[in-house]
Amino acid sequence: MSEYYDTLLELCDFTPEEIDGQRPRIEMAIEKIGLDRHDFSRAEERVSSQHDIALRGVRRLLRAWLLELLDLVLSREEGKKVVYYGYPSIQGPGMTIKAASTIDLYVGCPDVVLCHTLGQIFDKLTPILETAEKGGLPPGHGLCSLQQVRSGALALGIVPVPDLVTGSSYFCDMGSKADELLHEIYGHPAIYVDGSMDSDWGAYPQLPSARIKYLGAQIDKLFATVKDLLGVEVTPQSSEKAMLISRRFFSGLGRLTKLMAADPMPVSGVESGLALNLAAASTGISMTEGAEAIELLCGEVAARVDTSEGIMEKGAPRILSFIQPFSDPSITHMMESAGLALSSSIVTVPPPKRDPSIQINTLGEERAEAALRDLYHSGYGLVKRFEDAARRMEVDGVLWGYLFNCRPLAQYSHLVKQWVEEKTGIPTLSLEMDIYDSRNYGPEALKTRVEAFAEMLRARKAA
Amino acid sequence: MEAIQRLAAHVKSRMGDLIRHKKQGGKIVGYSPGGYLPEEIVLAAGAIPVCMARGGDHTLVELAGAYVCRWLDTFCRTQIAYGASGEDPYYNVLDLLAIPITDNHVRAVSDILSYHTGLDIFPFGVPHMKEQAASDYYLHGINRFKEKMENLCSVSITEQKLKQAIELCNRERELFRNISLLRQANPSPVKGSDFVALHHGSLVADKEFMVDVLEAVYRHFQENAPLRESAPRLLFTGSTLAIGDLRVLNLIEGYGGKVVIEEFAEGLRPYWENVSLDGDPMAALADAYFTRRVPPAWFRPGTERLDFLLKLAGDYTVDGVVWYHLLYRESYKTESYYFPRRLKDGPGIPMIVIESDYDASEAGQLSTRIETFMHTLRS
């Protein structure tokens, strides 16, 4: 017998048999989250209007996110040990821990999962954010809304108190401090993976060995703690397994990035965001279903490219952006409606290759080197990455949508634009955003500046 | 007090001293406050250290908007404005700006000034944990700094020179500590604003002159016992107490409160730990400046500092805590949520949280809140 939630799940590529099989889990999760039939009706409407569900790859990705939500919300009831990591920078070690696990273990980033499900699909993030605002992370102080999502969801009992939490103390101050706040309230252990972004301005991509050594020691400490607390031992084999999965995942993302460079742009940035962030938030479903969903999507998008089918008119200015909003796809749709083809993201343009002269001694150092070579190198590394990616992707414009409440990004609010325009001549829009909480940064608030930028780029192309 | 007036006059004419030193081929090394830059290394190289700790002026905060968005700590935005605008004489006289990177706000100062100015900037990392690997990383950073100073000044920093500088700085720390400890008495002989004035003066003053002033001040307070008083005794703590940012302190004293102990991450000189003169001086510096130092809120976790605050509250028998942090300094903002509960469960004293963007429009609200807090403490 069908239930009110079946239609949404079918839209997200669940078969009736799968729904029947998952029904007890689904109903338990619905109760824990506090969703009702109206939420599902609204979600059906949102998914149909905000996502390109003609593409099965998109539906598979939505399915993966919903499965991840179920796994997260029910992890405690299902007898799993629970490890949360911070976004964005602990995903690699998280995947490695999951790959090493011989016990029933949930490893993931709950805040990002909730943004993509309760935010993007159900539009139910506001009560969670408001709960966090009453619990030590008040509004108006530039505190990270992603941390608010985690805090609010814990307070409301939507997600379980973890057995271990680990945060990226080497990139962001807020994540670790929010972990500390939650530790004060719930008492769970927190492991801070520390480092220091202290490279000289102008020193990119050079990577001092001391930085690799220190961050590597911190990641090794995390692995040792996981072994002590959970009995999960990270080995070179499990690390290699995680690397293989990541490679497959990121190879798919790389292919998608290339396909999105087609003119006309074949699929919305909303969908590439679904794919990209699954790798960042999930170590479970992304391992079992993620890569396959992305490959399926790539196949469908390639067919569109072959027939010159696009979601925007041909010749639309192509844009290198930072990252798509996690919780509110209407922002990306607004930008695309304004005529900007959000064809590439800095996150999917690969960083430089490893310097073979760098000596790596431990698994932690292996992970540290990979992280530091990418966006966690330095501020200079960030602006250089934008410059190099803008050139490589041959874009018409750059949209630097920095998160106002993310200090590692907001400090370059002006600098990315100044640097990219000075070095490449490519027009750059510096746009203050909040990709997790769109209450103050919704599409209407951003529209005027985005439309003006799009008009300027079109005029420039026409000249 | 005569010695404090002498210090004020010295600070007023300090820029002239710096310019003369520079004209004679000497080097001026600025550094960001936070207590992680061992001045001993600068002194041992024959250069003059100057702490870039001015703040309190909203005009500069507004000026910073040309270089960065507003969502950064107020003091750090002030430094960006001072440095990038080219209008600040202290920044203009520097041969080197050393920036121990403690958090992202300070990193912003380093990167934005690197891009917008011709300043020679030397960033080095301060880890956020007290572990062996972290101590090693800090030591690595100050060793790099020593090398940088040797190149800048074309000198070799010998162990002997370093130890001489350590002795001088230890004397300064010891005097600050002694003066501070006098305030455990009730009534305290030292006004909070006088103690802060000594700190702020010491951030730019000639080191030997400063030690001389502190000796005189210490003698004065030893010899002059205060009259009885009934002012509420306060612990004043927070992120940054910049030179020039005296509004909150003045309001506290204006409403009859007495700050008897302070703990700030930036703007006050750490004075609790001396540097050992035994063994390798660089390792000794790392030990005192990093390992034994009570860390600020940007350490993970901030437990050691919060425990230290509880200890200070007990040692100085305070009646209340004034927690003052600047806007968007998230580490302090987050701790300010749960520390009051510890205070309540521990010594059972109240705390007020003050947040500022150096804006004059805050004055009325600040005044009302501090006045009310003082009334609460008296009742």
- The pLDDT of B226-247, averaged and rounded, is 93
Chain B interface, mutation test: which of A89, A407, A418, A420, most B Cβ atoms within 10 Å? A407
The pair of structure tokens assigned to B281 is 């001086």
Task: Select from A230, A215, A205, A207 the least CA-distant residue to A168.
Answer: A215
Nearest by CB to residue A214, choosing from B133, B302, B334, is B133
Record: contact B104-A407, CB cut-off 8 A: yes
How far off is chain A from B197, nearest CA to CA, in Å? 30
Is A236 within 8 Å of A361 (Cβ atoms)?
Answer: no
Alpha helix ranges (H) inside B34-131: 39-44, 58-63, 74-85, 89-92, 104-116
What's the burial of A4, exposed, middle or buried (CB within 10 Å: 0-12/13-18/19+)?
Answer: middle
State which CATH number among 3.40.50.11890, 3.30.2450.30, 3.40.50.300, 1.10.10.10 fits the domain covering B7-157: 3.40.50.11890
Nearest by CB to residue A141, choosing from B125, B297, B328, is B328
pLDDT tens column, A138-157: 999 999 999 999 999 999 99
Window A:113-152, CB contacts with B under 8 Å: 136-137, 141-144
Record: contact B330-A142, CB cut-off 8 A: yes
Using the predicted structure, report yes or no on whether residue B227 has a pLDDT greater than 80. Answer: no
Lowest mean pLDDT among A232-246, A381-395, A430-444, B151-165: A232-246
* ipTM here: 0.96
Chain B interface, mutation test: which of A177, A376, A429, most B Cβ atoms within 10 Å? A177
The band of B117, judged by pLDDT with boundaries at 50, 70 and 90, is very high
Task: Select from A122, A114, A115, A120 the least CA-distant residue to A41.
Answer: A122
Task: Select from A178, A123, A121 the least CA-distant residue to A155.
Answer: A178
Record: contact A143-B334, CB cut-off 8 A: yes
Task: Select from B166, B47, B133 the least CA-distant residue to B98.
Answer: B47
Nearest by CB to residue B125, choosing from A185, A198, A407, is A198
DSSP H/E element including A96: helix A91-100
What are the respective helix, strand and coil percentages of chain B, to the nearest 5?
55, 15, 30
**How far, in Å, CA of B157 to CA of B42, rounded?**
9
Nearest by CB to residue A173, choosing from B103, B125, B127, is B103
How far off is chain B from A192, nearest CA to CA, in Å? 7
Record: contact A418-B297, CB cut-off 8 A: no
How far off is chain B from A347, nearest CA to CA, in Å? 21
Interchain CB contacts (distance < 8 Å): A and B: 152
**Given CB atoms, is A269 within the 8 Å cutoff of chain B?**
no
Record: contact B104-A173, CB cut-off 8 A: yes
Record: contact A214-B136, CB cut-off 8 A: yes
Record: contact A173-B129, CB cut-off 8 A: no
- The pLDDT of B142-157, averaged and rounded, is 98
pLDDT tens column, A15-65: 999 999 999 999 999 999 999 999 999 999 999 999 999 999 999 999 999
pLDDT tens column, B274-319: 999 999 999 999 999 999 999 999 999 999 999 999 999 999 999 9
Secondary structure letter of residue A199 according to DSSP:
P
Residue B127 dihedral angles phi and psi, to the nearest 5°: -60, 165
